[in-house]
Amino acid sequence: MRDSSPLPPRAGVLSRRAALGLAAAVPLAAASPAAATPSATPSTARTTAGTAARTATIGGDLLGLGGIQVRGASGLPKRLTARSWLVADHVSGEVLASYNAHRLLAPASTLKMLFADTVLKKFERTERHRVTDADLAGIPAGSSLVGVKPGITYTVEQLWLGVFLRSGNDAVHVLSHMNGGVGTTVAQMQARADDLQALDTHVVSPDGFDHKGQVSSAYDLTLFARHGLADADFRAYCSTRTADFPAGGKKTFQIQNTDRLLTGAWGVPTYDGLIGVKNGYTSNAGNTFTGAATRGGRTLLVTVMHPKSGGSGVYEETAALLDWGFRQGANARPVGTLVAPLSEGGARATPAGKAPKAAAGAPARAETSSSSWGLVGGAGGAVALLAGGAVAWRRRRRAGTAGGAPAPDPRASGPGASDLGTSDPGDSDRGTSGPGDSGARRRR
């Protein structure tokens, strides 16, 4: 059934890299007024600040701050409900605006972008593989499926079309077994994320399906998309609207891309200039989407995670942010950057120093701002948060999550999450099993 637990509020836990931005904001807090929003709960504030001494914020200190970050441009969409989003220039890597860029959230099938970044170049498009029962073992119940069947031979290209168009977890598992197994693929994906400096991401499964401890962020998903789009095959797959998929013998059936901005399904207008890239949905993660579009010679990337509205809300908010980027992006001064992979000469983030000690009697209260700084409410308060959270972070680390990953926001993957949920009734991301599908609604 669908996870009935409520989605957590938008003001919440940030990643271990993002929290250093709180420390960076301390010297500015006394000099720059901030338009306060409701403060974080003490437990949230401690969790956020307690990570500050670990690593510098990837992409720039402003991206480590909660709330909206934008400079030099106005007119952001007023009715955004996503818990995290980011707008970036594909070519320069400049982040034009963001909201909770490093917040840890369940990624759903947008994690398949990292799967493609990791495995896509391992096999030639024309390579053929006869699927066995073992290739399809272990696919989570309720997964979206493209309709891969044992005993049928598929080309690698057909399997990737199943991944990108229908978000088929069956196609993901076949490719993972061709790559040495699911465990090997997960380890390689984690290593690839580390190379891309997507340090908010902890991989548990190659398909993005709900698993305890599996998290990413708007920043990391945008990194995956930017890197993937540099590859011609990745770009071709994610922009394909329909394809014929083998059904056995000489028979085929048509599969359609579930990206509504690309296809115009469910009444969503197609977005002029859209390239792709990947959408996702589970009952735990809600809707996630990373899209890329080109207009006037400029390509923008937008990631939207977990908007409140169901159905087409994630596409509507993505389109609104793309519109803003194309209208106002030239005026925006960057608030951060999408870093280069370490393997391509990217500079590794340097560890931060120890968190300063708390000022006596300082209030432990975090406030965000709609200004470009999103400052902490008072220098003393920020310092207190940084010191007080270190113990909480270490305790959470000892408690641990799968694979020794940093503990995610418990409200993003809480005990109410179910791997057996059905798709949002208004969501077109339901997988199919090809001819003979029982009609059970699928999810990714």
Q: Which residue has the tokens 């959230």?
A: 105
Asked whether 422 and 403 are in contact (CB, 8 A), the reply is: no
Distance (Å, whole) CA 177 – CA 143: 17
Asked whether 126 and 155 are in contact (CB, 8 A), the reply is: yes
Is-cis flag, bond preceding 277, omega within 30? Answer: yes
Active site residues per annotation: 109, 112, 167
Q: At what angle do helices 169-178 and 112-119 cross, to 10 degrees?
A: 30
Distance (Å, whole) CA 344 – CA 381: 39
Q: Which residue has the tokens 């909480």?
A: 392
Strand stretches in 306-380, DSSP E: 336-337
Distance (Å, whole) CA 2 – CA 7: 12
Q: At what angle do helices 169-178 and 156-166 cross, to 10 degrees?
A: 140
